[in-house]
Structure 1
């Protein structure tokens, strides 16, 4: 029982710590020049909140989703914690690289710069890569089918948002972004 509580606390600490850092860092961004609409924001934020609910709830109303896809053992939780922490570090590294160019919604900043260093050398959207890894790690630790659904919902939401960002970046940076997109995959190094 103590071990379960310890691991639960670890995951809460990682996710809440990530969120707190994100909110603090949001105060140091450039002014917005152009932003997506509120309905567009909600179209990728609402699925993420739903995915978070699937992972955080003790159980969900659809009984089938509360079934296990991995055995009830320590190894899925430990591996899940390692993956969650790795995703957290990767997304935070990417966030630091973006600095004042970051925004939580699809936006263009005044004096927006195209960042291609740090984790942006390997993937065009490393924050999403890190967050998907955090969802995968947490889902593995939960070990129930609702975690698999949460990962699928989160990945679909990030895919939709990155497509919007890609269109904005192509308009903003033209051929420079097109060449960058041609040589660097969107989410998974050397693959996608």
Structure 2
């Protein structure tokens, strides 16, 4: 088994785990609780039509990239660049750890999770687990995972994907926090005072 095949195998393992633990199981759990998951008019308005269209198009392009990366090595080689093997394995470790954190953060959200921006019925403000010190651990995990992915694949496709993730995330978070402030009001504003956006915030002088 050569090194490139090993990294491709890891890539597909990660992809399967994401589909199962970060999409299918959270969606099933949320649906069982009566949550709406489809992107209706309200969800699109919350996200903004531009960002919604961008996310859909980016998803389609990513699917094309995955097919090329996996099944067309002749074309894929044009986008490969050299990185030391040791550094690429560091990328595997980083992306694997962030993937576990990503799954855990979604599990903590339980029925409140949705891939679309929507307030669910009986929506609650989750402040336990990673959400006790940071507001958006899922987005943080996704960015770190994508950086690890770009490193261990050593592929310009996924460098571009990481760049899009970094550009898209703050725009998405801005829309999400506007929605949450609109629903929770001062409760969410107070929550923002003692939590970090992307990284943990442990020091706070006021009272929760």
For residue 36 of structure 1, the aligned residue among 18, 40, 43 is 43
- What is the alpha-carbon distance in structure 1 between the residues aligned to residue 36 and residue 188 of structure 2? 20
- What is the alpha-carbon distance in structure 2 between the residues aligned to residue 129 and residue 51 of structure 1? 19
Deviation track 1:26-74 (CA, whole Å, cap 9, x = no partner) reads 022143498412845333343355456557643798x9x8263x52x32
Name the CA shift for 1:45/1:157 in 2 (closer, same or farther; >3 Å).
farther
- What is the alpha-carbon distance in structure 1 between the residues aligned to residue 94 and residue 105 of structure 2? 16
For residue 174 of structure 1, the aligned residue among 185, 192, 198 is 185
Name the structure 1 match of 2:3: 3
Name the CA shift for 1:47/1:5 in 2 (closer, same or farther; >3 Å).
same
Name the structure 2 match of 1:14: 14
Name the CA shift for 1:57/1:185 in 2 (closer, same or farther; >3 Å).
farther
- Asked if structure 2 preserves the Cα contact closer than 8 Å seen for 1:122 and 1:184, the reply is yes
- Asked if structure 1 preserves the Cα contact closer than 8 Å seen for 2:91 and 2:147, the reply is yes
Q: Give secondary structure in 1 for the equivalent of 2:164.
A: helix
Alignment of 1:95-110 (within 5 A): 95-110=106-121
More divergent stretch after superposition (170-179 vs 17-26): 17-26
Alignment of 1:35-114 (within 5 A): 35-37=42-44, 39=49, 40-50=51-61, 57-58=68-69, 66=79, 68=81, 71=83, 73-114=84-125
Please, which runs of 5 or more residues in structure 1 have no aligned partner?
A: none
Q: Give secondary structure in 2 for the equivalent of 1:7.
A: helix
Name the structure 2 match of 1:23: 24
Q: Does 1:149 align with 2:148?
A: no
Name the CA shift for 1:85/1:53 in 2 (closer, same or farther; >3 Å).
farther
Alignment of 1:127-146 (within 5 A): 127-146=138-157
Q: Give secondary structure in 1 for the equivalent of 2:119.
A: strand
Name the CA shift for 1:60/1:99 in 2 (closer, same or farther; >3 Å).
farther
Q: Does 1:187 align with 2:187?
A: no
Over aligned residues, Cα RMSD in angstroms? 2.8
- What is the alpha-carbon distance in structure 2 between the residues aligned to residue 173 and residue 48 of structure 1? 31
- Asked if structure 2 preserves the Cα contact closer than 8 Å seen for 1:101 and 1:113, the reply is yes
Q: Number of matched residues?
A: 187
TM, length-normalised to structure 2: 0.77
